[in-house]
Amino acid sequence: MNETWKSADISSLDGKRILITGANSGIGYHATLGLARKGAHVIMACRDPRRAGAAIARLRVEAPGASAELVVLDLASLASVREFAHRELAELRPLHTLINNAGVMAPPRRLETADGFQLQFGTNVLKHFALTGLLMPLLERAMWAGRPRVVTIASIAHKRGRLNFDDLQSTRHYSPMQSYQQSKLADLMFALELDRRLRAGGSRVMSIAAHPGVANTNLFRAGERSTLDTAVRAAASHMIGALLNSDDAGALPTLYAATSPDVADGGYYGPTGLMEMRGNRVGHAAIVPKAQNAEAARRLWQVCETLTGVQFPLRASDLEHSFRSK
């Protein structure tokens, strides 16, 4: 892109249903706000009903007349993901865009999801993999000029990530940032592999990735941490605020990936400022070679299928079976 792209540049989204995970705060909330202001019906998928209620109340003030609904979706639980997807499939309403935004960043000790997966890999990767696969029939049903989309939020942290197939769950060794970097590399590889599979299957659905740069969000500030660590992070967030992206600027790549007619299949977008960390210009983001390793991506895909029990219905016959079996 040669010019600054703003959320005001989004065309009307009237009649479009868009689901975004982690919609109650940070980048997720600001992306929700930008979509709602353009007329989309936004499904705000959140884990905490109390925080979600506060977010939608704020949305009503900042975007009067916004069309939005709250759904409780706990990405630390496969049962929650399956229950939500089952309800959506039963209603047979098309889904125009799915934004895999929610994430966990670097808890200081190894934690597990309800299913026994290491928290970062389980939440950031496995549950979004499962959610996308289960909702694929609804994305295939959506008909609009911009084509249905899956937008997966990665990170510049993917550049330092490494897929350790011998210890994806960090059972032998847990490093908070190494685990986060691995999960973000896996997210980007998932988006790129999904694109390859969708195109091979002749699907109209697009798979696109985006990253926010380094935004001063709750992902940086929150989490299960000591009082001292929390205080240090809070102080650091104030200091870096002048240097790094705000929540609303960090949401621009997400909005661009979800709405722009100029995005490409398998594209990856982010801010073009200093080292891709900030800026209000959105452009193609750098992808390190290991993220483009198709063989490793296929192996990761197989691992995700095995651990989640979800296989993607990417053929017409599979899609019909998905509806008949609900």
Residues annotated as catalytic (active site), given as ranges: 180
Inter-axis angle of helices 26-37 and 252-259, nearest 10 = 50
Cα 283 vs. chain centroid, distance in angstroms?
18
Say if residues 214 and 278 touch (Cβ distance below 8 Å): yes
The candidate with the shortest Cα–Cα distance to 249, out of 207, 294, 212, is 212
Cα 146 vs. chain centroid, distance in angstroms?
19
Say if residues 63 and 37 touch (Cβ distance below 8 Å): yes
Half-sphere exposure of residue 112: CA atoms within 13 angstroms, side-chain side: 7
Distance CA 187, CA 209 (A): 9
Which residues, including other chains, have CB under 8 Å from residue 276's CB and lie 6 or more apart?
Answer: 156, 211, 213, 270, 285, 286
